[in-house]
Amino acid sequence: MTEKNKLPHVVILGAGFGGITCVQKLLSTKVRITVIDRQNHHLFQPLLYQVATAGLAPSEIAYPVRNLFGRKKNAQVLMGTALGFDFDKKQILLRDRTVDYDYLVIAVGGRTSYFGNDHWAEHAWGLKTIKDALAIRHRLLLAYERAENEKDEALRKKYLTTVVVGGGPTGVEMAGAVAELAKRVLAPDYSFPGRTEGRIILVEAAPRILPMFHPSLSAKAQKQLESLGVEVRIGEPVKDIREGAVVLEKEVLPAEHIIWGAGVEGTSLVRSIDTPQDRAGRLLLGPDLRLPEHPEVYALGDAVSLQDASGKPVPGVAPAAMQMGKFIARDIRRRIDGKDPVEKGFVYFDKGMMATVGRGRAIAEVGKLRFSGFFAWLAWLFVHLLFLVGAHNKVFVVMDWIYNYISFGRGARLIIRSHAEADPAVEKATSRTPTDL
Amino acid sequence: MTEKNKLPHVVILGAGFGGITCVQKLLSTKVRITVIDRQNHHLFQPLLYQVATAGLAPSEIAYPVRNLFGRKKNAQVLMGTALGFDFDKKQILLRDRTVDYDYLVIAVGGRTSYFGNDHWAEHAWGLKTIKDALAIRHRLLLAYERAENEKDEALRKKYLTTVVVGGGPTGVEMAGAVAELAKRVLAPDYSFPGRTEGRIILVEAAPRILPMFHPSLSAKAQKQLESLGVEVRIGEPVKDIREGAVVLEKEVLPAEHIIWGAGVEGTSLVRSIDTPQDRAGRLLLGPDLRLPEHPEVYALGDAVSLQDASGKPVPGVAPAAMQMGKFIARDIRRRIDGKDPVEKGFVYFDKGMMATVGRGRAIAEVGKLRFSGFFAWLAWLFVHLLFLVGAHNKVFVVMDWIYNYISFGRGARLIIRSHAEADPAVEKATSRTPTDL
């Protein structure tokens, strides 16, 4: 199996953190590698909320997969959507072709989980893709324009209200960033009454936000959020979400913007795999990260639910996915070299956690070390830059951060109208002169 | 009229080059100013083709109008779509309200002209807005992905063929940029047969490209284009454009990408104004730039067709629009101060023309001075940076230019899929882990 006429073919499905780490670690091995992703770019999702709040441009946190691997001799890149697998024939079914593999790594990530309330998706926006981020940016920016034209005070207030559901890192970062955008960037540029009265509400069912951190840090993050003007509602489960309103136990919050930062579950593709899954539709694998019936098929990241070889649950974070990618690459290499499959299996090494709230505000926990405030924020910036793919993107993100920090401005404050919104009568109006000096 | 209880109200409709220049020159005058634009941003259209070819990010050439004027005491900014005017009542009819004015400046620009063949618009894309540019970028990048999956050689070739119609500066710049993108950035990242055989064809009906320049420069620009691999077809009028094909007199060019860079005409709003117009629906004004029956209404830029006070036709270029904006501001100031309306009327000062073809390739003509090549290209870069609005944008564009120059890369090489294209079965697949560390 290992030594054929041609080299063994490793297919990596998904160019997220886990997928590209796995590819990078395999490049020097005697294999042919194919990377397949539905998008043409690797997305640095931890900064996606800054695209949604106009701080960064999409191209600054996305990197073309072909730029990474397109010119490597033993790697090829395919843009394609996987519809299913034939594990017996060792094939992936793409929409317009099938791809054979000798080893397969399923690194497709997860999708936003509404905990069984999928109909909430229509009103509470997830934040998983650039498209999602641009849709949120568009609506947040447009809301101030609409509020300016609105005579009705209650409606105006609603336009300026954002509810973020979920007190994990995603929700906290999003709530902080929306507050900064609204209060420091947008409100001062308008003159209508009530422009400074926009509400940003973070709703969390648990008794504290960021429950994976030490309680003292949760409390600090909450204070930091409140100093930005965010109302933090803890211990308040969401009962229902409707068009323009979040229903809590004792109150209905009218809000034009409802952002969902609460959970992740397995994608339909992952759910279609006939192997044990957890309640969220993620594959329950052993620490060898292989499908029990198909040991040449691996999975990683948000596609799996895992206790590592030391018995600890592995969190759904980028560093864990990257470590899994590295582990799988090593495992494949050992198998190809005819060595024993793997030591004891995957062990997650916890390097610590961080979450940022806004300008100069963050918390971090590394082992027993806990810190917060400006220094934690600088550490957060540094670590995120470190893992951002591509020198171009690193440089541009730093520049935008410096700009945003100094000017309290937002470089990507663009409302790009869709054609559907444009009035046909003036469809092409307000466009301008062609080029020339 | 001039001295009321409140200050005279000047409304500038359109935040293009002419509009924002006019506002800037009026800021120190005792007037209230309202700027209305359908978009929330001023767009630096001369660099739009670089967004379409993945060299720049949209936010680098667009600047929020509110960032410019939102915090000025005597100026306000409205995002709104003008549907018509009531010149007798001195009102602009927006979609959801009316705005009164004492002085009105119509600076709405033009729209893409298909010279009476409006049905070509569906197949030959104009380039006027960021939306247009992103649509072109999306299709150019996706074409290589599709070609890779295509077995039929003729189809593959068609996917990689771009026809640019119109040999003016827009068409020339676009053709050069597409050639650079295809041949230097994309082709080397793929491995399918024929990847380097993409055709870029520039079609011009006149006997030479860039006819506003000296013939020797036209010839040089043509050579520069050809050195990038562009096929230049001069003296070949387009007879018809259909889905995927441009029909010339003696040949049909199959092309997946047809880009229209040929002409500008008046918008529907401008056409609806009851005053003499040229064949392209632009207002025929005298050198006072006022509507004859409504001397408090001015128009400028691509909304007008003009011979200046010295009898010379004014070209449809950004510097002309800016000079008109400045002239109108001065005229309004004089009228408010009770001075004589205006000297002899608007006189266009021609500072020269430039066009760029690509990396190190450009032509320039200033009076009798003509130059081309690397130095002309540097001059082109410099002048465009100078007029780009906003320090943020200047810095980022320079950085991207340096990056593109050094790396032959393209920072904005993103295919952002619309939801419509995504497969519902895997709608949210291939998205990745939420943030943490």
**pLDDT at residue A289 greater than cutoff 70:** yes
Interface of A with B in 390-429 (CB under 8 A): 392-393, 395-396, 399-400, 403, 407, 409, 411-419, 422-423, 425-429
Span B115-127, average pLDDT:
93
pLDDT of residue B415: 78
pLDDT of residue B417: 58
Interface of A with B in 274-333 (CB under 8 A): 301-302, 315-321
Cα A185 to chain centroid, rounded = 24
* Pairing relationship of beta strands B62-64 and B91-94 according to DSSP bridges: unpaired
* Chain B neighbors of A145, CB-CB under 8 A: 40, 79
Residue type, A162: T
Q: What tens digit of pLDDT does each residue of A352-372 get?
A: 999 999 999 999 999 999 999
pLDDT-based confidence at A417, cuts 50/70/90?
low
Span A200-213, average pLDDT:
96
Residue B112: CB partners within 8 Å, gap ≥ 6?
A428, A431, B121, B126, B127, B128, B260, B263, B264, B265
In the block, residue with structure tokens 């410019």: B68
A100 φ/ψ angles, rounded to the nearest 5 degrees? -85, 150
Interface of B with A in 48-77 (CB under 8 A): 48-49, 57-60, 62, 64, 66-67, 70-71, 76-77
DSSP 8-state symbol, A7: P
**pLDDT at residue A423 greater than cutoff 70:** no
Q: What tens digit of pLDDT does each residue of A152-201 get?
A: 999 999 999 999 999 999 999 999 999 999 998 899 888 888 899 899 99
Residue of A190, A183, A191, A265 lying closest to A228 (CA atoms):
A183
Give the separation between CA A422 and CA A415, rounded to whole angstroms. Answer: 12
- Highest-pLDDT range among A222-226, B65-69, B425-429: A222-226
B433 contacts A321? CB cut-off 8 A: yes
Shortest Cα–Cα distance, B47 to chain A (Å): 8
B168 contacts A434? CB cut-off 8 A: yes
- Highest-pLDDT range among A73-82, A213-222, A350-359, B401-410: A213-222
State pTM to two decimals.
0.86
B57 contacts A58? CB cut-off 8 A: yes
pLDDT of residue A344: 83
Q: Which two tokens stand for residue A315?
A: 């969190």
Which sign does the torsion angle of CA B419, B423, B429, B430 carry? negative
Residue of B275, B319, B278 lying closest to B301 (CA atoms):
B319
- Closest to B129 (Cβ–Cβ): which among A43, A317, A431? A431
Helix axes B374-387, B391-407, angle to 10 degrees: 150
Any B CB within 8 A of A163 CB: no
A57 contacts B57? CB cut-off 8 A: yes
Residue of B127, B126, B224 lying closest to B176 (CA atoms):
B224
Contact between A91 and A98 (Cβ < 8 Å): yes
Span B111-128, average pLDDT:
93
Q: Which residues of A398-407 are buried (b: 16+ CB within 10 A; e: fewer)?
A: ebbbebbeee
pLDDT of residue A415: 78
Q: What tens digit of pLDDT does each residue of B51-85 get?
A: 999 999 999 999 999 988 888 889 999 999 999 99
Structural element, H or E, at residue A136: helix A130-148
Q: What tens digit of pLDDT does each residue of A21-44 get?
A: 999 999 999 999 999 999 999 999
Residue type, B25: K
Residue of B217, B113, B109 lying closest to B165 (CA atoms):
B113
Contact between A10 and A32 (Cβ < 8 Å): yes
Region of B100 on the Ramachandran plot (φ > 0 left; ψ -120 to 50 alpha; else beta): beta
DSSP string, A79-93: E--EEEEETTTTEEE
Structural element, H or E, at residue B42: strand B41-43
Average pLDDT of chain B is: 89
Domains and their CATH numbers in chain A = 9-113+264-336 (3.50.50.60), 118-261 (3.50.50.60)
User: Active site includes B60?
Assistant: no
Contact between B357 and B172 (Cβ < 8 Å): yes
- Closest to A17 (Cβ–Cβ): which among B315, B411, B432? B432
pLDDT of residue A404: 83
Residue of B260, B257, B244 lying closest to B126 (CA atoms):
B260
Mutate to test the interface with A, among B396, B432, B436 (most CBs of A within 10 A): B432
Catalytic one among B60, B173, B265, B296?
A: B173
B60 contacts A57? CB cut-off 8 A: yes
Give the separation between CA B131 and CA A18, rounded to whole angstroms. Answer: 33
Contact between A264 and A280 (Cβ < 8 Å): yes
Residue of B108, B287, B195 lying closest to A430 (CA atoms):
B108
| Residue in B with minimal Cα distance to A98 | B149
Residue type, B329: A
Shortest Cα–Cα distance, B89 to chain A (Å): 21
Q: Which two tokens stand for residue B149?
A: 């999956």
Contact between B166 and B262 (Cβ < 8 Å): yes
pLDDT of residue A4: 41
**pLDDT at residue B238 greater than cutoff 60:** yes
* Chain A neighbors of B431, CB-CB under 8 A: 43, 45, 109-112, 128-129, 267
Mutate to test the interface with B, among A170, A185, A210, A437 (most CBs of B within 10 A): A437
pLDDT of residue A427: 29
Any A CB within 8 A of B38 CB: yes
**pLDDT at residue A5 greater than cutoff 80:** no
Residue B412, SS3? coil
Q: In the Cβ-directed half-sphere of A304, how many Cα atoms lie within 13 Å?
A: 27
pLDDT of residue B371: 93
A396 contacts B45? CB cut-off 8 A: no
Q: How far are the Cα atoms of A355, A381, A388 from residue A362, in angstroms, in the given order?
A: 6, 10, 19
**pLDDT at residue A319 greater than cutoff 70:** yes
Q: What tens digit of pLDDT does each residue of B385-398 get?
A: 988 888 888 888 88
> A352-366, A389-403, B25-39, B194-208 — which is least confidently predicted?
A389-403
**pLDDT at residue A430 greater than cutoff 60:** no
Q: What tens digit of pLDDT does each residue of A379-394 get?
A: 999 999 988 888 888 8
Give the separation between CA B209 and CA B207, rounded to whole angstroms. Answer: 7
